[in-house]
Structure 1
């Protein structure tokens, strides 16, 4: 008789519901509890209504493993804290949380990002290419469009069309999401970034752009995490890497080009459909696929989209029309406020358009996420 692993899911949006459907199909998994903040009595459309709970404690008590995909940094941090304290392994599909508080948890227990979103897919591709003898220089995310300051009418339209929350639609469009993802990739795979805000070249030839980015990585002396704007390319990920020169003729024969840089493309990422792979990996002792590491080098700063006035409230930075996120080196931006903790914040000073928000500019409410970030950034006593 196989052991049945009781799986809990925090989040009932598009991703959370999709994961639940796939988990429920697996013989060795049991969908145990689904944590939601919504009124359960109004959730008649949820396929597994008997699993729903509003109680974090009931959720934690009934699970052997949890998947956090609430899309909320502050709330997700509190849920994960309880799971880690109960020695329950945590899988996330919440890159925003990983780059904000993931390192706090990486020191305290088991936390990994799932395959499915671009960071997890890049981590999986990384394992694959390393085993084939490649040495990665570029971890690339492919983005089809970018508009740094989209208008609310467009965002409402696409939000409704795609069935995705307006804040998520906005963070995909203004680049915050991809900056977050590539910060996580940099921290988790031991890469860096070429510049604050990333290079983000436009591309109609991934091989050529991959070569150019690889040259930049060689010049810098370390692998880089990047994204390309390539409307005609598939919605996937790529790694540009070097190989042993003795394999050059073979790689040419394998249609990989002349070298010395080779671009390996995965032409899809299927979000929640891929999460079961990570669940099975964790259960079988496969270890962390990707997390933000214990000592991150890259964070995601909040950049003002327009002039912000004293007294102005920022309800939620990620996906707002007030700020967007940019990947930045932590050592040279010590005072930046990570966009993930910019929630129910009040501006104390005027901040100009395109300026980075610092801790002196804003008043932030107390939260575990804030405490965790201050520890990660070395701004508070470490208490493990």
Structure 2
């Protein structure tokens, strides 16, 4: 077989719905790619209908040894961080569909190897739409997500019902419903594409007309003086896609109106779908072809996602999980305004150190967190940010002193 016909080998970390669908896609439609290994932490004999079950392994070494690229879709911050660090040690690029990891440890990892979010989930779809907009000459002002339903404090019974009906886990269903997922996704987009937020927790405007809502958001962005990320809750038109609110050159207004985007000055570009695992192959091909990063959390993030208490809790109360749990939900925030917040992605199998009230933002003083590589990374990033903040005033002072000496 000639080198041009040798299949590229893809290692997959994760065995959930995304992994199932992605593996079937590659097997049936990408004849130049091959799934080499699939990493799971479950007993190998516990799988009954997994595609390519003979490729399953419990060994990260086996996953990495026989791959040209890793797709990380475990949905787990702690396990995913370990897998990606091991992949980087072996010089492998990583495509991830793990937004929770990106916003927790992704900025550190982005400085250590090739890490990109995949197209298909909302952040990657927004990044792809952003690239298309720039090539057409548009100037993005707002990076928007569309959310069909929001309940900040859903019941356990409702979440079990909808999880069973949709064929996904209870924690996934809960993180989608209580808004944590959209906050995580938009924080990544803001960090990766250089946008900010208008307020903690985002605006989350109700909308009956996307164009009208886009015009309002565009005006808000121009008043703010920089692009921002947010989401809408549509009523009367389908949700589930992503959109950009943009401006363009004034001398293009007549042509753009003829192209049916309206009179301007704000134009809403819509991608009315995101097909998750069915689109991941596009990003895999992009990377294997030598393309650059589609999106990551950047090495200098400005946004994070903190944990907000859903109810009053007492000291010593156990926290099984933050993302997708019934004690906390996530809110996007500015890192420089909340330097002591606990990233919601770190809350797992820990305990409260002191009582908290509903709506309270959780800090490191409020909880005891078990040691982990993810925690080490977050604390290392915090220390680096604190040192940078201390150096900046002294640098400014030094420049001022030089100016005085030279006057």
Contact 1:6 1:64 in 2 (8 A): yes
How far, CA to CA, are the matches of 1:163 and 1:95 in structure 2? Answer: 20
Selected match of 1:11 from 14, 25, 32: 14
Q: Report deviation, 1:379.
A: 5.8
Q: Note if 1:79 corresponds to 2:86.
A: no
Would you say 1:190 and 2:208 are equivalent positions?
Answer: no
Residue of structure 2 equivalent to 1:60: 64
Aligned CA RMSD, in angstroms, stands at: 1.2
What are the residue-to-residue correspondences of 1:1-384 with 2, within 5 Å?
Answer: 1=2, 2=4, 3-25=6-28, 26-231=30-235, 232-378=237-383
Counterpart contact for 2:233–2:239, Cα < 8 Å: no
Which is further off, 325-334 or 232-241?
A: 232-241
> Which runs of 5 or more residues in structure 2 are unaligned?
388-407
1:36-92 Cα distance to aligned partner (Å, 9 max, x none): 111110202102111000111111111110011101111111111111111110000
Distance 1:354 1:379 in 2: 29
For residue 25 of structure 2, give the secondary structure of its aligned residue in structure 1: helix
Compute the displacement of 1:184 (Å): 0.4
1:381–1:79: structure 2 CA closer, same or farther, 3 Å change rule? farther
Per-residue deviation, residues 168-205 of structure 1 (Å, max 9, x unmatched): 00000000000000000000111111111001100011
With normalisation by structure 1, the TM-score equals 0.98
Query: Structure 2 vs 1, CA of residues 186 and 102 (structure 1 numbering), >3 Å: closer, same or farther?
Result: same
| Structure 1 residues 299-356: Cα deviation after superposition (integer angstroms, max 9, x where no partner) | 0000000012111111110000000000000000111000001111110010100000
Question: Partner of 2:71: helix, strand, or coil?
Answer: strand
Aligned-pair distance for 1:30?
Answer: 1.1
SS at match of 2:87: helix
Q: Is contact 1:305–1:321 with CA below 8 Å preserved after alignment?
A: yes
Aligned residues: 382
Structure 1 residue 234 displacement after superposition? 3.4
User: Scaled by the length of structure 2, what TM-score is found?
Assistant: 0.92
| Kept in 1: contact 2:144–2:242 (CA 8 A) | yes
Q: What is the alpha-carbon distance in structure 2 between the residues aligned to residue 258 and residue 233 of structure 1?
A: 23
Bigger helix share: 2
How far has the Cα of 1:239 moved from its partner? 0.3
Match of 2:392 in 1: none
Secondary structure, aligned partner of 1:83: helix
SS class of match (2:329): strand
Contact kept, 8 Å, 1:92 with 1:112, in 2: the verdict is yes
Aligned to 2:393: none
Cα distance, 1:122 vs structure 2: 0.2
Q: Distance in 2 between matches of 1:322 and 1:164?
A: 20
**Which moved further from structure 2: 55-64 or 235-244?**
55-64
SS at match of 2:205: coil
Contact 1:375 1:381 (8 Å CA) reproduced: no
Larger-Rg structure? 2
